[in-house]
Structure 1
Amino acid sequence: MWTHKAWQGRLVAHPLPAAERLRHYTGWCTAVEGNTTFYATPSRETVSSWAQQTDPDFGFVLKLPRVVTHERRLHDVDEPLRAFLDVIEPLGPRAQALWIQVPGSFAPTDVATLARFLRRLPPTHRYAVEVRHPAFFLDPRAAQLLVRTLAATGTEWIPFDTTTFFARPPTSDAERDAWTKKPRMPLRSEALTDRPIVRYLGRDDPDQSSAGWQRWVDRVAGWLQEGRSPVFFVHTPDNADAPVLARRFHDEVRARVPALEPLPQPAPVQPLTLF
């Protein structure tokens, strides 16, 4: 995500060699979603470059490959999972959580499969699950079944809050495109562990995005005051201003929790001059 075209020359310097792009992103945010690992497992050399560009306290939330979660649906996945874990080893503590996003067809009847999969995972990593089947949000028995399964292995439940996005009809090409692709997820805002992870989808209008995340400002501030370490990812339909909005969200939380460390200062996009 740190190579997003809309950021180049505007939020991060351009052109930049591949080995410097992530480093510039770390001036904006202290964590990143590793969504590309869902589509293809990177080389170990590539992951080593990520480690070299980031401090040990920078966080990657890396999505497991789709062959594991979608194609094989957590069955018979020892080989691709082992290969993935070997590749990300250079990240060390930067691999803040491994993100297990299961398909929308993964239903409460599949929770036993998830339980077996989670029990076999190595304890060297933290894990977080994102489900999209409506029953987990609308059926209290299904929700409790999933909560018990996750709690048994210290696994987090990642909510993807799209309620603000779907509250009004789309008004731009980017919003219309996202309208057909993004899931309409019921709101869920509980944490299961000391490191909750939230994904939030806003609108093109930054003020609408901010209005929609006010419940999360309250919740994240509360988590921090409880001693938890939450991660909050901000998305918009085209993600053009996502880093700016992420910093705005952080500032709003920090106004509630002054002890929260400030985010780093982004590197100048253009060289400084005397004129």
Structure 2
Amino acid sequence: MYLAVGCAMWTHKAWPWHSLPSAERLRAYSSWCTAVEGNTTFYATPPLATARSWAAQTSPDFRFIPKFPRTVTHERRFTGVEADVRAFLDAVEPLGRRASALWVQLPSAFAPADVPALATFLRRLPRSFRYAVEVRHPAFFADATTAGALEQVLAAAGAEWLPFDTTEFFRTPPSSDDERDAWTKKPRVARRDTALTDRPIVRYLGRDDPARTVEGWRPWVETVAGWLREGRSPTVFLHTPDNAAAPQLARRFHDDVRAAVPALEPLPEPAPIDASPAEPLTLF
């Protein structure tokens, strides 16, 4: 029984390990959280040495969800991308099982009519990796038939549907600069909590007020607890517009799930940070 929790990145100016040398920040982060989103690979495929460094700084059970390059998913839309895909797969190979799933994030313009192209793309990928697909077009969330067609394509590839839950964030108008910025950028779609595989992945966006964030994730505590009882091994990523308290929130979420599923092992205590943060990490 295993629940991985993490954030959108492994360093942030508000986190004390941000003052460490860049080559040591992931190691420090991995003592707080057990997973991280792989957003950096969306913008540039890393050299092998970089992925080897990531692996060296984390335990074998740590989970990365590296994102396919934007040239593949957004710019060329799966057409003529063989070289880019091969380079990406080669680059993340040093992560081994730490690459828990490779993330196919699709733009909001990717509509139900484009699903056959996704099906072809997934069929051509090696089965040595797991895959997770994030869609943002409203039709996938509003129509059961459309959602079912996508689920069939994902099931055929053994891929997971990766939801980004922004329902709590959009419940009330923004109240900070970071929230106002996120208001214009984040997808506004219905909450989805159906797992297709034994390793569901969830992205949850709360508010800059930690209490609001905690209150909004209550349904996810129940859902994730149910997945664990079914023998699944989920990964949950906690976001807020400013992400200042994201690592603490990730650990708090794990604690809340463990309260519902006592058999879940607690997270280890974070390693001491050999740095001098301006303020300690606290939630409330």
> TM-score w.r.t. structure 2 length?
0.92
Task: Give the aligned residue type for 1:80.
Answer: D
User: Which residue pairs with 1:130 in the alignment?
Assistant: 134
Task: Give the aligned residue type for 1:118.
Answer: L
Per-residue deviation at 1:77?
A: 1.1
Unaligned runs of 5+ in 1: none
User: Which residue pairs with 2:78 in the alignment?
Assistant: 74
User: Which residue pairs with 1:145 in the alignment?
Assistant: 149
Task: List structure 1 runs of 4+ shifted beyond 6 angstroms.
Answer: none
* SS across alignment from 1:263: coil
User: Which residue pairs with 1:170 in the alignment?
Assistant: 174
Unaligned runs of 5+ in 2: 1-8, 277-284
Q: 1:44 aligns with which of 48, 55, 63?
A: 48
Per-residue deviation at 1:186?
A: 1.1
Q: 2:64 aligns with which of 24, 35, 60?
A: 60
Per-residue deviation at 1:43?
A: 1.1
Task: Give the aligned residue type for 1:61.
Answer: I
Cα offsets for 1:100-146 (capped at 9, x unmatched): 00111101100100000010000110000000001000011111110
Cα offsets for 1:212-269 (capped at 9, x unmatched): 1110000000000000000000000011100100111100000011111211211223
The answer on 1:2 being equivalent to 2:10 is yes
Provide the rounded CA distance (Å) in 2 between the counterparts of 1:219 and 1:2: 26
The answer on 1:23 being equivalent to 2:27 is yes
> TM-score w.r.t. structure 1 length?
0.95
The answer on 1:261 being equivalent to 2:269 is no
Would the aligned equivalents of 1:119 and 1:153 in 2 still touch at CA under 8 Å? yes
Q: 2:254 aligns with which of 247, 250, 253?
A: 250
Q: Cα distance 1:83–1:270, how it changes in 2: closer, same or farther (>3 A)? A: closer
Per-residue deviation at 1:270?
A: 5.2
Provide the rounded CA distance (Å) in 2 between the counterparts of 1:59 and 1:82: 21
Provide the rounded CA distance (Å) in 1 between the counterparts of 2:53 and 2:273: 22
User: Which residue pairs with 1:194 in the alignment?
Assistant: 198
* SS across alignment from 1:181: coil
User: Which residue pairs with 2:242 in the alignment?
Assistant: 238
Q: 1:156 aligns with which of 154, 157, 160?
A: 160
Per-residue deviation at 1:41?
A: 0.9
Would the aligned equivalents of 2:28 and 2:273 in 1 still touch at CA under 8 Å? no
Provide the rounded CA distance (Å) in 2 between the counterparts of 1:89 and 1:44: 8
Between Structure 1 and Structure 2, how many residues are aligned? Answer: 268
Provide the rounded CA distance (Å) in 1 between the counterparts of 2:102 and 2:224: 21
Provide the rounded CA distance (Å) in 1 between the counterparts of 2:118 and 2:176: 38
Provide the rounded CA distance (Å) in 2 between the counterparts of 1:187 and 1:88: 30
The answer on 1:223 being equivalent to 2:227 is yes
RMSD of aligned C-alpha atoms? Answer: 1.2
Provide the rounded CA distance (Å) in 2 between the counterparts of 1:99 and 1:119: 15
* SS across alignment from 1:99: strand
Provide the rounded CA distance (Å) in 2 between the counterparts of 1:242 and 1:34: 16
* SS across alignment from 1:68: helix
Provide the rounded CA distance (Å) in 2 between the counterparts of 1:150 and 1:88: 22
Per-residue deviation at 1:271?
A: 7.0
Provide the rounded CA distance (Å) in 2 between the counterparts of 1:74 and 1:265: 43
Provide the rounded CA distance (Å) in 1 between the counterparts of 2:176 and 2:272: 30
Task: Give the aligned residue type for 2:234.
Answer: P
Task: Give the aligned residue type for 2:252.
Answer: R
Task: Give the aligned residue type for 2:239.
Answer: H
Among all aligned residue pairs of Structure 1 and Structure 2, give the percentage whose two residues are the same amino acid.
Answer: 68
Would the aligned equivalents of 1:29 and 1:264 in 2 still touch at CA under 8 Å? no
Q: 1:89 aligns with which of 79, 90, 93?
A: 93
